[in-house]
Amino acid sequence: MLAKSAGSIKNAEMLAYLEICMEKYIINGGKPLYGNVSVSGAKNAALAIVSAAVLVDGTCVIENIPKIRDVAVHLNILRRLGASVKLINDKTVEINCSGIRTTNALFNDLTRKTRASYYFVGSLLGRFGAAHVSLSGGCNFGGVRPIDQHIKGFEQLGAKVDVRSGIFHAECPDGLIGSSVFFDISSVGATMNIMLAAVKAKGMTYLENAAKEPHIVDLANFLNTMGADIKGAGTDIIKIRGVSKLRSGFYSIIPDQIEAGTYMAAVSACGGEIIINDVITKHLDCISAKLAEMGVEVEDLGDAVRVRRTGELSRTNITILPYPGYPTDMNPQTAVLLCLANGTSVMTETVWPSRFKYMDELKRMGAIVQVDGSSAVIEGVKALSGAPVEACDLRAGSALVIAGMAATGVTEISGIEHIERGYENLIPKLRSLGADIVTVNVADNDEASLGASV
């Protein structure tokens, strides 16, 4: 029965995925945005927290979980491992992993759909002392995304690690021993993965040069709610005292900093005035400050921000840095603003130096950009013009949506499966603000255009 239902899940999933690959967005640009929009739970916190449920011996109820494809993939990995996963409602899931009896997550069809699937290495290793997980995938920024810091951290805790034949193997039959791990680079993934492995290790673990993003703090808060002993998340040094058991509990995921930033960029590009609800304004400080420099009005309303742009956008320079610096996941969306600003701006990307692939698509819309290694020199133009473009990754896709909404004329965006991975209800939310966007099936559209040409 389980096999059949797993098979039917797989078929249904595959059909849904193939269908979305046959769709595209059609945007009629030039409309200002007005109204209210609410932000969903943070994707990059949810992916880690769902994976962390493996460590909990009992039931965890997780609220404010975003209804996005990547989270569905992680919930299906849990199901295939033998966990019970129940959707209480659209935003709440009940997970019980006490039934998991395997350390093999050899589900290449699922793990390669997200980058974060490698968190199942940390959580399975942390609970069982062993993990065998098919390699992850995720957004491609022009090269393999390294995992050397993950390997270094697991080995530091006493695990034997081997990556071969597309599988990430980590084993420590005698149990992990707490240790000091000094990361060579600020890595969100490695910080979270080693945290997952360390929460039940014997003794103290110190993560030094740790990443400080809001989702790191959220994962630590989730684990502490379940009985872990983690201090210092959000600072350079995270101290973890190993505990023997994590108990059942209830947790609500923080709002998505980047989703909020994407709507801030949208109204800054299109003009108008919107209120973005259910945010943690502290997480938006770097974005708000930079938008203010460009002439956008950002007002802190406590658990919301009011964003208004009426005049011209001013040029500026941006250096992308780990949190609390300007976030790399706002790089593409912000570049659209620089394309529309008066004057020449420079953006320097220090996290994913080869992240500027999307600029070729913006050039199709009239952007004037010179990419030189990890920097982009952007000369502002009066307006972008609608064109057929293709999304190459999640945030680049959202940037093309913003560019299409701000441009004159019609923009067609293909590759929207990238966008649907990480934004909950992006199109309905933008339409509620006045954007003129529809999703069409490519087959229908081809017939329609064929009809038009006959």
Residue 139 found at the interface with ligand EPZ (CB under 6 A):
yes
Among 27, 116, 286, 305, binds ligand EPZ (CB under 6 A): 116
Does residue 166 belong to the site contacting ligand EPZ (CB under 6 A)? no
Out of 41, 137, 158, 189, the only residue in the binding site for ligand EPZ (CB under 6 A) is 189
Rounded alpha-carbon distances, angstroms, from residue 378 to 23, 26, 275: 31, 26, 29
User: In terms of CB distance, is 145 or 202 closer to ligand EPZ?
Assistant: 145
- Smallest gap from Cβ 353 to ligand EPZ, in A, equals 7
Contact 279, 89 (CB under 8 A): no
8 A C-beta contact, residue 116 and residue 74: yes
Distance, in Å, from the CA atom of 403 to the CA atom of 387, rounded to the nearest integer, reads 10
Q: What binding mask, one character per residue, do residues 349-378 give for ligand EPZ by CB under 6 A, x or -?
A: --xx--------------------------
Task: Give the phi and the psi of residue 148 in degrees, each rounded to 5.
Answer: -60, -35
90 binds ligand EPZ (CB under 6 A): no
Residue 69 engages ligand EPZ in binding (rule: CB under 6 A):
no
The answer to the question of residue 42 lying near ligand EPZ (CB under 6 A) is no
Q: Is 150 in the site for ligand EPZ (CB under 6 A)?
A: yes
In terms of CB distance, is 181 or 188 closer to ligand EPZ? 188
Place of tokens 């441009």: 407
Element at 276 (helix H, strand E): strand 272-277
Nearest to 135 by CA among 155, 158, 153, 115: 115
In single-letter form, the type of residue at position 304 comes to A
How does DSSP assign 81-123, residue by residue?
HT-EEEEEETTEEEEE-TT----EE--HHHHTT-SGGGHHHHH
* CB closer to ligand EPZ out of 96 and 191: 191
Contacts of 326 (CB under 8 A, 6+ apart): 286, 287, 290, 318, 319, 320, 334
| Residue 55 C-beta: closest distance to ligand EPZ, Å | 18
Chain-centroid distance of CA 47 in Å reads: 8
339 classed as catalytic: no
Residue 57 is which amino acid?
A: D
Which of these segments, 5-13, 138-146, 360-368, 412-420, binds ligand EPZ (CB under 6 A)? 138-146
Task: By CB under 6 A, tell whether 394 contacts ligand EPZ.
Answer: yes
Chain-centroid distance of CA 418 in Å reads: 11
Euclidean distance between CA atoms 96 and 85, whole angstroms? 7
Q: Name which of 36 and 354 has its Cβ closer to ligand EPZ.
A: 354
Count of CB atoms situated within 10 Å of the CB of 161: 19
Q: How many residues bind ligand EPZ (CB under 6 A)?
A: 26
For residue 375, give the nearest of 345, 340, 334 by alpha carbon.
345
Place of tokens 């039931």: 59
User: Least CB distance from residue 119 to ligand EPZ, whole Å?
Assistant: 9
Please tell me the distance from the alpha carbon of residue 295 to that of residue 256, in angstroms, as a whole number. 24
Please report, in angstroms and rounded to a whole number, the separation of the first and last CA atoms in the chain.
Answer: 51
Question: How many Å apart are CA 436 and CA 430, to the nearest integer?
Answer: 8
The active-site residue out of 60, 97, 139, 339 is 139
In this chain, which stretch among 7-15, 93-101, 184-192, 222-230 interacts with ligand EPZ, using CB under 6 A? 184-192
**Strand-pair partners of 93:** 62, 87
**Least Å from the CB of residue 197 to ligand EPZ:** 14
Give the one residue of 51, 64, 96, 187 binding ligand EPZ; rule: CB under 6 A: 187
Identify which range of 20-28, 159-167, 183-191, 339-347 contacts ligand EPZ by CB under 6 A.
183-191
* Interface pick for ligand EPZ out of 24, 74, 115, 290 (rule CB under 6 A): 115
Shortest gap between Cβ of 101 and ligand EPZ (angstroms)? 27
Residue 49 interacting with ligand EPZ (CB under 6 A): no
- Please give the residue whose beta carbon sits closest to ligand EPZ in the complex: 189
Distance CA 415, CA 275 (A): 29
Q: How far is the CB of 205 from ligand EPZ (least distance, A)?
A: 17
Instruction: Report the nearest approach of ligand EPZ to the CB of residue 368 (Å).
Output: 26
- Our finding on whether 185 is near ligand EPZ (CB under 6 A) is yes
- Sign, Cα dihedral of 39, 43, 45, 49: positive
Residue 328 binds ligand EPZ, judged by CB under 6 A: yes
Q: In the complex, what is the shortest distance from the CB of residue 147 to ligand EPZ, in angstroms, rounded to a whole number?
A: 5
Catalytic center residues:
139
Q: Which residues bind ligand EPZ (CB under 6 A)?
A: 43-44, 47, 115-116, 139, 145-150, 185, 187-190, 211, 213, 328-329, 351-352, 394-395, 422
